[in-house]
Structure formats: structure tokens, C-alpha cells
Structure 1
Amino acid sequence: MSHPSPGTEALTRPALRVVDGAGRTALERMLRPRGVALVGVSGRPGNPMARPLRYLREHGFAGGIHPVNPGHRELEGLPCHPSLAEVPGPVDLVLALVPAAAAAGVVREAGAVGAAGVVVFASGFAETGPAGARLQEELAAAGREAGVRVLGPNCQGLLHAPTGMVATFTAAADRQLLPAGGVAYVGQSGAVGGSILDLSAEMGLGLTAWASTGNQADLGLVEVASALLDDPDVRVLLLYVESVGDGGSYLRLARQARDAGKHLVVLRSGRSSAGRRAAVSHTGSMLGDDTAFVLASARYGVVLVDDVDELLAVAAMLSAMPRPEGRRVAVVTTSGGAGSLAADRCSDADLDLPELRTGTQDRLRPLIPAFGALANPVDVTAQLFTRGADAFGDVCRIVADDPGVDTVAVVLTMVVGPAGAALAEDLVATSARLAKPLMVAWLAGQDQTAEGRAVFRAAGIPVFSAVGDLARAAGLVAPPRPPAAPGVTLPRVPAPDPGRIRGLIGTPDGPGLLDAMGIARPASVVVRTPQEAVDAVAGLGSTAALKLNSGALAHKSDVGGVRLDVDATGAAEAFDELLAAARAHHVDRVDGVLVQAMVPAGTELVVAATGGRDGFPPVVTVGFGGITTELYADVASGLAPVSPEEAWAMLRRLRAWPLLAGFRGAPARDVRAVVDAVVRVGHAAAAAGPRLAEFEVNPLVVGLPGEGATAVDVLVRVTGGGDPVGE
């Protein structure tokens, strides 16, 4: 795991742009150096610190290669220099193959010879504790003072395949590099990065560039990734992220990829439940620490994957074939049973299997035996292969021509040996002529399909060994479903005065905060004696809810701190019961009792926001509320501020949406009022700034169309601890 320098962001630090006379940035010079110096390179063949020199030579790096080690006169047939200062010719990149204590000195020497960057491989820095952290700070300071960028420490280096610049010690570089395939990788873990380099080569995916950022004393993942997105040879960028850290930098990177028309695929580890344990509100306890990260990724079209296999499969698909325009899949298979399995797994991945159009089925009918299937899945049967080696490809081309199909998924069974290899060649040729992606799952042993799989691999087409893996990958690369069109005119909601919102956040004035947001609430008053309670209820002219008023309580019902439908005759008794409940549960700082007008029955929702974490915007959440919020966990989220259209889409994602729209003869609810409330909460969260930890309206009682929505309870928690503030 990487350990960024204390006080720095996990993904990036402020950039120090070292530019040479030709206008090349430091990162460009590091990836395409005129010369590489290897300081401390080992002369022992079995030593990992001897590998970078061997790799540079074996992979054909054409620039200068300069071993530096006073203990040797020659290494790998090259003159070995006693010091970096004595290296002839230009040096853009220095590899520090030295112990941790010597790394800062190498960085200073690199600056003296005009190098752009230094790769520090050694461990023993911040990952080891306070002493190592101080050593890492010294390393970063040396880079700043010398005008040199530092990659690492505790990293495995970088490579640039087109130039043969392989500056790493991972054994994955023992493989022959494949021709660059427009895919680049940056990751915070050296070991995972080595595995990705090795596995990508095995599956036939050529990486244009590869980098391991390690502890990120200087160069962070986002800065390296941003530079690679600027490379015209890179179309797909893969990231392995352990710690997001600076959400703002991640958002800018995702936006850069989207605006450049490039694909960003991210594998993230280190997800934690710590944030959920610390949450006070109902909704806060249901949101994962990565909710904002997932929402931000979705906003900019980032593909999130769960493991290395998915990362590489998605990369291969995006680099070798067009991205699908929708989520409609046609399955072409040699087995009806396999087709049925594929249909089930596609449904699990939220993919559609539309029936092929009549014209498409008419074109298929002469090719497929009568006992096959034409609709979707298309079962060609084994008899198809008697019609010629290219018959299967003909079927796939016809299916791809159907305007109702976005992706063709081929599921093969026991087509093995030479027949399988011939079929693979036919499908590779077919895929090259299609304007739609063609995916393959092969349900047969690797030993019997090795030749055919090699054909697919050489073409950069991933072959899945399970239909579920194919379906999940297809679902990942397909665009999300557009939300259904609203059935009502959505409200236009003005943003509140941000100064007023910030002034009320963290104060005991929950009702005032709701008023500033423009969210309706019932009439209420705080009373401190039984007689005041009687007078307050009588003044409302209706029954009331009585609630303990204490900043120490997040959820009053948990301690019996709520009485409902209380009239004036029972108000004094209810007041005494509430104070007795507070004493029984040792509730501190009770400031009387809140008397609140009862709200007519309606559908209860929760609308909430959690403050922005790690530079991400706040997260706004809506779901079915009251005491059942956590029981049903039926919530949908978006990044603040949310538009009315986004709020509508959030509501449509709820499983219980039919209860709002009208279910089995029950009346619909005032959806426009809910949209209005969600947008207002989003505006307030965005205006509140970093002080807001959590804000929750629960319940928001929604009436019939035109009756509006009323906030019955509100809870606010600010950063820096302290009691929640509620009404």
C-alpha cells in the first residue's frame, strides 16, 4: 500500500512543471528520455536492482543508457561511471537504485546534471513510521530544491512501450512487450501494477505506458494520469486507486477524460465502513465511504470495476472495438441452454435482450436450421457449421445490422480444436467490419481451445470463460439508462442565500434553517413547563406532537422522547412523561419540550445530505423514511447541487417509486413537492461549505398532488464533533 507524504493529498500534490528548452514537461521527458542514468545499479544478475539495466537493453531503448556505480568499470557491456556528474550526454531520467537514506542525495545530483525526474524504488519511507515519514519529506524537499520531479518512493517505476523505455524492476517486464495498443496504466500499488503488466501481456493487450506511483512524495497518480490523457497515443487509461484523497483532482481528471473522448477505467481498493460507523443520521449510516466517488465517476462516464480481470477485460473491449450506444444485447450461440444462461446473466447485469426485428429474422432464416432459434438468443445449432467456415460470421453480421441491437454477444460451447480456431478467425474478421462491439464467451477447456483463444488474443478481443463474466463486462461498458421522462412539469427552484445558510448551520435554530431553505414545516414552539405545554397545544387549535428538545439526541424516538396526537387535556401529562424518559435514559442538556402541530398523514420520505468529504461535493440522498429508513434501505443519491431533473431521476431509482406514482388504485403523491425539497436540500448543502457533516429531514411527509410536502423533523451535525442539532 502507498503512503503519501504527510500533509499531501493522496492522489496529487501541487504540480512543479519542469519544462526543457523544447517545451517538454518533466513527465514527457521522463517517459521519452534522451538518456537514462542508473545510479547504484547492481552487477549481480539475480539482484532486482540489476533488472532495469537489462530491461532497457532487451527492450531496445534507443536513448543513452548510463550505469553509475563506483564499484564497476563496466556493466552489461556498457561503461559504468563512478558518479552521476561524470555521465556524458543528456540525462532526462535518473533511476535511484539506492537505499532510502541515499535517495535524497541522488535527487540533488540529478538536479545538478539537468535531469527532469528521478524514480526512487527503495522502501523504508512513510510506510515504516515517523522516521521514514521524515525521510520522505526530506526526499520531497530535495526534489523541490533541485527542480526535479520524483516518482515514488516505494514504487516499481514506469515504462513507455513505443520507445522501449522500461524503467522498472518488476519481473513482469521479462515478457516481450506487445505493440502499444492505446492503453495506459497508472497505479498506487507496485505489486498490483506488476500483475497488471504481466496479465495484460498474457491476454494480448499491449500497454502504451505504465507507471507505479508508490508513496507519492511528489508526483501523484492524478498528475501522471493527466499527462497520459494528453498523449494522443492513449485512448484508454486504467487506474488502480488505493486512496482517493483529493476528490477535486479526481473530478478534474474524470472531466478531462470525458472532454477528450477517452475512456477512464478505475479499480479502487481500500473501501471502508469507518465512515458509516461514525454517521449519526439514518441515511448517513447507509452511505458507503465511496458514495461520492461512485457518483462523481458516473457523472463523467468513468467505468468502475471490481477486480483486475474486469479491469483488463474492459480495457481490451474499449481499445479494440467501439463502445456500445445502449444496453441492448443480442446473444448468438451454438447451444440453446447456453443462450438461456446468457439471457439470465444479461438480465442480472441490467442489460436488455430485445427480440430481433422481423426483417432480421427473415435474413437469418436461410442460414439457421428450423430447429434453431431466431428471436434472441439466436441458437445457430451445430448444424450451421456444415454450411461453411464463415457461416457463423454471416449470422453475427446480420444480427449486428439490426437497429435494435447495440452489442453482439457470442457464446460458444464445444467448438474446439481446428474447427474452433477457424471459427475464431472468422469472428475476428467479422468483428473488424462491425460498427458494434462483438464479445465472446467460450464454454470449453483452455487446452482444447488454446489455438482459437490465441487468435482472439492476437486481435485484442477478450474471451470470457463464463457467461456471467461476459454479461458483467458488457454492462460495465454500456452507457447508463437514461431516466424516464417526467410525467409532470418540474419546478424551477431558486438557490438560497448562501450566507444565511452558513450562518444557521450549527445553531440550535433548526426551524430557521428550514425557513431559509424554503421547506415547509409545521408550526412549533419550545415550552419549559407543563402549563406552557397545555397553553401551546390549545393555541394550535388541534392535536400536537410533543418531543424532547435536546441537542444530545439525534433520534428522539430511541429513548421514548416523542408523544403524538396529544390534546390540551393530556399535554401536561405528556410533558412530564417526556422529562421522565430523559432522566431514565440519562439524556443531558434537555431544553424543554417541542410542541409541534400534527401533520396530516401522508407518505413519509427522508431527504438528507452529507457534507463533502476529501474534496468531493456533498451527497444528497432521498428515500422512504420515518423509522423504517434503515430497515428498507431504499435510497438514491446524487451530488450536490442537484437539478430538478436529477432529483426526478433519483426518485425513479427508488424501489418504492410506485407508492409515489400511485400503486394499485392508491392516489399518487405530490412528486413535484418532493423534487422541490430534494433540490432545496442540495442547494443548502452546496452553500453550507465544509462545516456541514450531515443534514437530514426525516420524515418529509408528502401529501396528495397540490398538498405539498412538510418537514416534520430536521437533524444537523457539523464537522469537528459536537452534538447534532435538531427540531
Structure 2
Amino acid sequence: MMMTHDDPNQRSACSSTRRTFNRALLNPASVALIGASSNQKKNTARPLHFMQKHGFAGTIYPVNPSATHINGVKAWGNIDQLPDNVDHAFVMIDSAGVADVVEQCARKGIGVITIYSDGFAEAGDEGIQRQRDLCVTARRLGVRVLGPNSIGLANVHSGGVISVNAAFEMDNLTAGDIGIISQSGSMMGSLMSRAAARGFGFSHLVSVGNESDISVGEILDAMVDDDATRVILLFLETLRDVDTLSGALERARSAGKPVIAYKLGRSEQGDALSQSHTGAIAGNDAAMDAYFRAHGVIRVNMLEALFEIAPLAARYAHLRPQAWCDTPARVAVITTTGGGAATVVDNLGLRGFVAVAPPAQFISHMASRGLNIRQTPVIDLTLAASSEQYQDLLTEIMQTDWCDAVLCIAGSSAQFHPQYAVQPILNAVATEHGNSKPLVAFLSPEAQASLQLLQKNTVAAFRTPESCADALAAFFVPLVKRQTGPLPPVMLPDGCPAGGNLSEPEAMSVFAALGIDVVASAMVQPHAPDHSINYPVVLKVVSRDILHKTEAGGVKVGIDSDESLAAALNTMADQVKTHCPQAVIDGYMVQKMEGRLIELMLGYRHDPLVGPTVMLGAGGITAELKPDFSLRLAPVTEQVAWQMIHEVKHTQLIRGYRHLPPGDCNALARAIVAISRLALIDSQPVTEAEINPLFVRADGVVAVDAVVRLREISHL
């Protein structure tokens, strides 16, 4: 009998399977090292050496047909000789023999195999096919593969270092509660060594390699269930298996385990597949930002901030903002070094923060407690306060509502006298109000002892002003509430083609079907220019082959009579033929010239990595020159649409700026929600859609130019 998703037996079986997989992946009790070398100079000798060095208490099975013992451990001639049900195999042989090894491991009941061997998808067409064949074999046999081309993984608590990464040669691995998942093997070790030098400890480190089978999402999901892991760091080059990753991120959010990401590829050179302004302005990296925000991921821009922010995220996860706010975050800055404070405040300002001065009432309150401070954006205690007064000031600030975060900046005393510079901070966060608002520290000198002391007590401390500002900015990015619950499906209007570009009248019909007001229009021909639209009008060419009509001479505005229209039709026909001789012309469209307060761009794009997105930005033909936009995963709620409106600076012109006439932002929010519903079309056939410009008026919005591109449907 087939079981349903609600079947408790099925749920139990799935849970059991997941536990088995998680244990074999992250906490194996037995490991087979296939291709382990007895030559200690080779990389393939490292895993056994590392596990012995770091006290792995499990069972190790080196497999080498040419050795009887390696480092005092019995070596096995082949996989078939191994005992049944070894938890995890690490494969370190030539790529040509990997498929056979997977077959042998499956026969012995080894369910998880990490493949160090290279020569797969990273090695060109032949390697890509070899990797495909490997995946087919693994799926057929029911085994899971990490890699290939993975430098391995490690359980720091157990000493289970199943890796060839030289970073594990360090004498002592610091166990802690941070898990790392890296799409770069070398960066996994680099992050560990950098962080370990600061006193950070790790639970697990995993290099995914080519990510042919076991994905970042599955590993993250396993770490969510891992009791030793409290914070999860991601070093990413791209996204794969987004559905699995999204589910794992939501589980991490529900479990209260912060996920922090550093992703390469911020310097976008443009998306060659994009034909709309939306795609050119809001490329893959902006879509990645939207994806992270939608799933509660804290994205940092600086590599060092990736681990430095971990204590901030873990201690104050409950204080992350839940909604957009027009006013910048306010930071109370307390310093014992004037120059050091200036460097951080400058970087905070670049990221939209305000160093806020204490109000007069608080100044009087502190004076009554024996500490005189001034009403300046930086509270400078240089040579002006004892450690007890410093602690008292911090404790009192933590109870106020005039700031959103506290930044403590220490000078030379942090290097030589941690008891003066650091201990007051530790004492303040240890009070009952210690978790009432985020408190972080920046140490101006090189002060390893103070950094480690703060880290040991889970207080975020930073070595550079840039990483400090980056971490605070990432922490204060507001969470986005996704559209939840069932939504009615969306259908394209009758008459739309099966794929490719729509003509503008067809695109307008799509937006009208979504409930967005579109400009009044009529089709005309050079030999039949009659229409019923009141002058003045706009004339446009209509062709599925011409998306950007201005460049082709296909737009004429301000036509005020039948005579002018007839002349414009003939001129436009000649210009379009010259610029686009191969284009099929359906005719010409006369549109009413609409008034507006401002013009915006409203776009939709099915991003190849993260899926459907919706964008609001400043509109017009110059929109790409100085991008001013907001992007979210689609569909969105009206609440999120309002956040997007506030994020676009250009909308200030209709939101009360210098008493200018207000625009109908309610109608604008509804239009954003409407276009985002393109994500609900079955199989999501719309790849790009755009209204540019969308006119915002005092009494509504109106689409005056429309582009829609459908996915090409293969009939093979």
C-alpha cells in the first residue's frame, strides 16, 4: 500500500533515514580511507595522520593493496575485505577507478562516500560525462556522494578529520559551536585557521567539492539537527539545488540557528541572457541578496566578518529587525581612543548608520551617578572614567531606548590591560539587561588576548573598522516575511504565443489581467490611421522582434493631430525598417499621453539561480545609468511591497519630500503585488516582464510601456 505524506510510519521512516544519513556524514564512528598511502609525504597519508593526531576514537580502515599496516593501523587489501556497514568512505584514487569503488562500497553497505579524486566536472566535457555516470551509478546503488573533487570534511569534537587539507596539521583543533560549509576546499582550511587564531571553535567543516549529489542544503539541514552546532557559516560561489537549500534555511530559522553567508561574484558584468532593463539592473547578485533576505540569511561582504559576526548573530538573533524602517539604525559609540572611533564611525556612516548622541536626560542621569559625559555622537571616555564607571555607563545604556546598538571601541589599553578595556564590557553583558540590544567591540590595536577573551564570552569583537561596520550592517538588514498560504493560480490571456517575446498589446493584456491599469490604446496602420484616442498621443511600433523601441526609432511622443500622426507613421515605418530590417511588424499603436508625478520601473524576472523575483526601481530610459531599486523573491505581500517602495529613493518625491504632491502609493503597492503573481503561473513560463515606465499619479498608477518574454517551449 502506498503511504501518504501524513502517514506516521512514513514520517518515522524518513526521520530515521535522515538521522542515519546525518550520523554517517557528520559523526561517523567508522571510516574507510580508500587509497590511503603509507608515504607520509603524500596528501593521501594525511587523513589517517590527522585522525590519529586529533584523537579520533572511532575505527579507521585504511585500504591499500600494497601495505599491511599504515602508521600502526592494519591496512586492508581491498574494500570487499572490510567489515559490513562502515559509516563513511573517503576515496583518494585516480578518477578512472572511482565508479568501481562506489560499486564496491555499496556492496559493503557504506552509505556515504566522500570523493577527493579530481578529473570530473571541473575537467571539461569528458569529466562532466564521467561525473554524470558516477551520479547515475550512485543513485542506482542507493549511496550518497560528497564531491567529487572535495577536499573532505571534519568533526572537530570527535577528531574525525576526513580530509587532506593541510590546515588540520595544527597541533590543537579548537572545538566550538560554529559549522562551516564551503564550496571552496582551500577556503575551508583558510577560514578555520584564521578563526582559530582568534579563539573561535568549530563543530564541523565540510567541503562540498563539485556538489554532484550531496548539496549545501542537505549538509546545512544536517547541521540544523546537530546538537554541537549553533551557528552555520556558508562560503558560496553559486547556488545549486535551491529547493533543498530553501527548506534547510527555513528549518535553521525555526531552530534559532543563524546562517551567515559570504558569496563570491558581487562584481556583476551583466547577464547576457537578459533582454529587459530589470535583468540588466537587478542581476544575479541582487537576486541572491533577495534570496538571502527571504530566508533570514545574514550576508556579509568581508571575509573576516564571516566568522567575526558569529557571536553577534548567536547572542542577539532575537533582536534582528522584523520590518523595514525609514530611519537609520542608531548606534551608541563609546570609546577610549578618539582616532579609533573616527575610523569606525566613518565606515558606519557609509552603510547608513547614525552615531547617536545621548539625550540631555541621559546625560543628567549619568552625572547623578558620578560620570560626566557630553552630548556628542561619540562618548569619549579617554582618561575620563574608571573601569567601574565604564561598566556602569554600558549597563545604563543597555536599558535605554535612544539607541539600537552599542559599539565599544578600545585603544591601547586593550593590548596591555584587558581588565580595564574588556572586563567592563563582559560585566555589562552579563547583567540582566545584557541581551536587550546588540553590543559589539572594536579593538584599535592588535590585541589578541582581549579578542580571545571577548570571543570566549560570546561578545562579537572586530579587528578592523570595515569588518565591524559590515557585520552591523548585515545584522540590521530586516527580515522579509514571505507570502504564505495557498494563492489562486494565474493564467495568461487567450491568444498569447507559446513562447518568446510578446508584442506590446499582448504584454499590456497580461498586466491588465493581473489588475494593473494600462494606458488606453488603439492599433493603426500607415494606410489606416483612424483611431478613437484623444490627442495628444504617443505612436509606437508593434513587433515581437523589437523589445526596446526607442533605439529602433519606434517611438514618437506629442503627436497632436491626424496630419501629424499620418506623417509620423510613414517616418517611423522607414526608420524601423532601416534599424531592424528583419523584424516582423504587426502594426502601430496609438496611446493616450498620460500625466504623472513620477515614473518608475516595475519588473519581474525568473532568475536562473533563485527563481521568481520582483523589482521596483526608478524608471525611464536612464534607469540603468544610476540604479535605484529594490528586489524581492516573488510573490510578495502588500507589506513587503511597501518595504520596497520605501527602499527606492526616487519614491521620496511622492512620499512627502519637501511638501511635493503625494502619489498613490497604495495603488503602487497593489501593482507590485500584482506583477509578482506572475510567479504563480503554472511551470512559471514568464522569464521576464517589465513596465517601464509605470506612471504614478495622485489617483492611481498606469502602465504606459510593457515587455513580457515567455520561456521557449521545446516540442522535442
Check 1:283–1:23 CA distance in 2 against 1; reply closer, same or farther (3 A cut): closer
- 1:133-212 aligned within 5 A: 133-212=128-207
What pairs up with 1:6-85 in 2 under 5 angstroms? 24-85=19-80
**Structure 1 CA distance for aligned equivalents of residues 18 and 281 of structure 2:** 50
Structure 1 range deviating more: 355-364 or 94-103: 355-364
Q: Deviations over 1:267-298 (max 9, x none)?
A: 11245746534322222211121333211211
Q: 1:201/1:460 Cα in 2 relative to 1: closer, same or farther (>3 Å)? A: farther
How far, CA to CA, are the matches of 1:681 and 1:545 in structure 2?
A: 24
**Equivalent residue number for residue 544 of structure 1:** 537
Write the distance in 2 (CA, Å) between the matches of 1:505 and 1:358: 67
From 571, 575, 582, give the equivalent of 1:581. Answer: 575
Which amino acid in structure 2 is aligned with residue 313 of structure 1? E
More moved, 642-651 vs 260-269: 642-651
Q: Which of 620, 629, 641 pairs up with 1:635?
A: 629
1:529 aligns with 2:526: yes
Match of 1:9 in 2: none
Matched, 1:101 2:102: no
The aligned counterpart of 2:341 is: 339
User: Once the 2 structures are TM-superposed, how far is the Cα of residue 309 of structure 1 from its aligned partner?
Assistant: 0.8
Alignment correspondent of 1:408: 406
**Cα 1:654/1:453, change in 2 over 3 Å:** closer
1:349 offset after TM fit, Å? 2.5
Determine if the alignment matches structure 1 residue 438 to structure 2 residue 432.
Answer: no
Contact 1:41/1:97 (8 A) holds in 2: yes
Q: How does 1:455-474 map to 2 (within 5 A)?
A: 455-474=453-472
Residue 234 (structure 1) shift = 1.6
Instruction: Provide, for residues 186-220 of structure 1, a one-character-per-residue CA deviation record: whole Å limited to 9, x for no partner.
Output: 11211111111222211111111111110123212
Question: Pick from 555, 558, 577: which aligns with 2:551?
Answer: 558
Matched residue, 1:718 = 710
Query: Aligned-pair distance for 1:324?
Result: 4.1
Query: Using the alignment, how far apart are the partners of 2:473 and 2:74 within structure 1?
Result: 54
Greater shift, 35-44 or 327-336, is seen at 327-336
* 1:141 CA displacement: 3.4
Q: Cα RMSD (Å) of the superposition?
A: 3.0
**Residues 268, 285 of structure 2: 8 Å contact kept:** no
Alignment of 1:685-700 (within 5 A): 685-687=679-681, 689-700=683-694
CA distance in 2, matches of 1:278, 1:634: 22
Q: Map residues 340-379 of structure 1 onto 2, 5 A cutoff.
A: 340-356=342-358, 360-365=362-367, 370=372, 372-373=373-374, 376-379=377-380
Tell me the secondary structure at the aligned position of residue 701 of structure 1. Answer: strand
Distance 1:624 1:269 in 2: 27
Question: 2: CA distance between counterparts of 1:325 and 1:584?
Answer: 57
Alpha carbons of structure 1 residues 428 and 44: separation in structure 2 relative to 1, 3 Å: farther
2-side partners of 1:286 and 1:555: how far apart? 15
- Inter-partner Cα distance in structure 2 for 1:462 and 1:178: 21
2:332 corresponds in structure 1 to 330
How far is the alpha carbon of 1:459 from its aligned partner? 3.9
Q: Which residue of 1 aligns with 2:301?
A: 306
Counterpart-to-counterpart distance in 2, 1:322 and 1:666: 40
Task: Please say which of residues 158-167 and 463-472 is displaced more in the overlay.
Answer: 463-472
Partners of 1:183 and 1:319 within 8 A in 2: no
User: Aligned AA for 2:355?
Assistant: L
Deviates more, 1:120-129 or 1:683-692: 683-692
**Contact preservation (8 Å) 1:607, 1:697:** yes
2:207, 2:488 → 1: CA distance? 43
Is the contact between residue 550 and residue 590 of structure 1 (CA under 8 Å) also seen in structure 2?
Answer: yes
Deviation at 1:463, TM superposition (A): 3.5
Distance 2:18 2:520 in 1: 67
Q: CA deviation at 1:56?
A: 1.0
Larger CA deviation: 34-43 vs 541-550: 541-550
The answer on whether the counterparts of 1:414 and 1:443 sit within 8 Å (CA) in structure 2 is: yes
What CA distance in whole angstroms lies between the structure 2 residues aligned with 1:32 and 1:316?
Answer: 24
Instruction: Write the letter of the residue equivalent to 1:540.
Output: I
Q: Distance in 1 between matches of 2:591 and 2:21?
A: 64
Cα displacement (A) at 1:669: 1.9
Q: Distance in 2 between matches of 1:289 and 1:77?
A: 52
* Displacement of 1:601: 4.8
| Pair 1:320–1:156, CA change in 2 (3 A) | farther
Match of 1:652 among 646, 651, 659: 646
Distance 1:107 1:18 in 2: 25
Q: Which residue is equivalent to 2:475?
A: 477
Change (3 A) 1:582 1:159: same
User: CA offsets per residue over residues 597-642 of structure 1, 9 Å max, x none?
Assistant: 332354322222112433x342212223222322342222222222
Unaligned ranges ≥5, structure 2: 1-11, 322-328, 482-486
TM-score (norm 1): 0.86
Residues 458/523 of structure 1: CA separation in 2 closer, same or farther (3 Å cut): closer
One-letter amino acid of the structure 2 residue matched with residue 528 of structure 1? Q
CA distance in structure 2 between the aligned counterparts of 1:382 and 1:176, rounded to whole angstroms: 41
Aligned equivalents of 1:152, 1:592: Cα separation in 2: 55
The corresponding residue for 2:397 is 399
Letter in 1 for 2:524: V
Alpha-carbon separation, structure 1, partners of 2:141 and 2:636: 46
| Distance apart, 1:66 and its partner CA | 2.1
Across the two proteins, how many residue pairs are aligned to each other?
682
Counterpart residue identity of residue 28, structure 1:
R
- Retained in 1: the 8 A contact 2:690–2:707? yes
Q: How far off is 1:374 after superposition? A: 5.9
CA deviation map 1:172-199 (0-9, x unaligned): 1112444532211111211111111222
Give the TM-score normalised by the residue count of structure 2.
Answer: 0.87
Q: Structure 1 residue 155: deviation in Å? A: 0.7
Describe the SS at the equivalent of 1:118: strand
Counterpart amino acid of residue 378 in structure 1: I
Which residue does 1:423 correspond to in 2?
Answer: 421
Is residue 2:516 matched to residue 1:519? Answer: yes
Equivalent position amino acid for 1:105 in 2? D
**Alpha carbons of structure 1 residues 543 and 396: separation in structure 2 relative to 1, 3 Å:** closer
One of 633, 642, 662 as aligned partner of 1:668: 662
Distance 1:399 1:222, change over 3 A: same
What is the identity, as a one-letter code, of the residue corresponding to 2:517? A
Partners of 2:494 and 2:227 lie apart in 1 by 46
Q: Please say if residues 501 and 688 of structure 1, whose CA atoms lie closer than 8 Å, have aligned partners that are also in contact.
A: no
Larger mean CA deviation between 455-464 and 54-63 belongs to: 455-464
Shift of 1:503: 5.0
The residue type equivalent to 2:591 in the other structure is Q
Q: Where in structure 2 are the equivalents of 1:283-302 lying within 5 Å?
A: 283-302=278-297
8 Å CA contact retained: 1:177, 1:201: no
